[in-house]
Structure 1
Amino acid sequence: MHRLFTIISLATLFGVPASVAGAEEPRIYGWVENGLILPENVQVKAKLDTGAKSSALAARGLERFEHRGEPWVRFKLKARSEESGEKGHLTFERKVVDEVKVQTLGGTETRPVVVMAVCVGERRYEERFVLNNKTKAKYALLLGRQTLERMGPVDANKRFTVKPACVAPAIAR
């Protein structure tokens, strides 16, 4: 252990890359990856977008409602169930944790923000997602820089470099 610390310290001092010093290389993701929405175990295509600050979901049919006196939203995502293999627009319900104002061509729009757990590779991320009512979005899930900072580098020439492999907690029924 002491030897490894000495090698890494000397490598840092002399500007040698960590990979040469024996440290583990960071995972490099493609610009599109498969992700799982947890705990439902629903697979979605995720665009890793270094040009976007925050993460977003291409939600369809947004419907706001109250649940136990709190604001919630019901929406659909283009996805595939890992358990049944069913493809299509699956329905989700989540508590609204915030609202954001977005400038659009038609003026200002207020969009709900929800928290969802997603799995990319072997890592689980609990993220805030702005719900964007898009009907023609190619990717259901967009991961922005706030998430990518914790994930690692993205290679614009690669796609589908990892498979979702997180252990999902059981759904309470």
Structure 2
Amino acid sequence: MITSKKIRAKTPRALVGWREYVGFPDLDIPFVRAKIDTGARTSALHATNLHHYDVGGEDWVRFTVPARKGRPEHRVEAPLAGVKKVTSSNGEAQRRFYIHTKMKIGSRIFSAEVTLTNRGQMGYAMLVGRTALLRRYNVDVAKSWVQGGGPTKEVSK
């Protein structure tokens, strides 16, 4: 007996390591060094000098992504998607601005929600959470820089 179920073509998932280079085409940022964190729900980008302002009745945010490890400083303006409460790994709750933007890991470009926070004390300018990875990537925690896209194309195992 044949049942009527929708058959969906599945796009194969790409592989990422525990750290990767992530680009932001809409923000003109070619790459940032990112830690892949399946324990985090949301993605977070290192941003300083945050400034919220109004453009014709719409909320916008201006911020700086500081220079780091081979990447120059970037000053960014983007539509503000909202403010959300995020609980960090140390249990501290913060209210953070977030934006919707295109994110690029390897050859794949997709829309993602990214919170803006000061990650100056962290080892990586970006934290990629599980929501951005969902149905797109599998993570191999024993590998790094699998997708390339940064200042070098080396892959370590």
TM-score range, shorter chain: 0.7 to 0.9
2:20 to 29, 33, 48: 33
TM-score normalised per structure 2 = 0.75
Using a 3 Å threshold, how does the CA distance of structure 1 residues 28 and 107 change in structure 2: closer, same or farther? closer
Is 1:150 the counterpart of 2:135? The answer is yes
Percent identity at matched positions?
Answer: 31
Is 1:121 the counterpart of 2:106? The answer is yes
Q: Distance in 2 between matches of 1:41 and 1:155?
A: 25
| CA-atom RMSD in angstroms | 2.7
Aligned to 1:16: none
Aligned to 1:171: none
- 1:120-144 Cα shifts (integer Å, max 9, x gaps): 1110021011111333232222111
Deviation (angstroms), 1:67: 1.5
Map of 1:6-155 to 2, 5 A cutoff? 26-39=13-26, 40-78=28-66, 87-103=71-87, 108-155=93-140
TM-score normalised per structure 1 = 0.68
Q: Distance in 2 between matches of 1:108 and 1:143?
A: 18
> Are 2:98 and 2:116, in contact at CA under 8 Å, matched by a contact in 1?
yes
Q: Distance in 1 between matches of 2:45 and 2:135?
A: 19
Structure whose CA Rg is larger: 1
> Are 1:49 and 1:144, in contact at CA under 8 Å, matched by a contact in 2?
yes
Q: Distance in 1 between matches of 2:49 and 2:91?
A: 19
Q: Distance in 2 between matches of 1:30 and 1:79?
A: 23
Runs of 5+ consecutive residues of structure 2 not aligned to the other structure: 1-10, 151-157
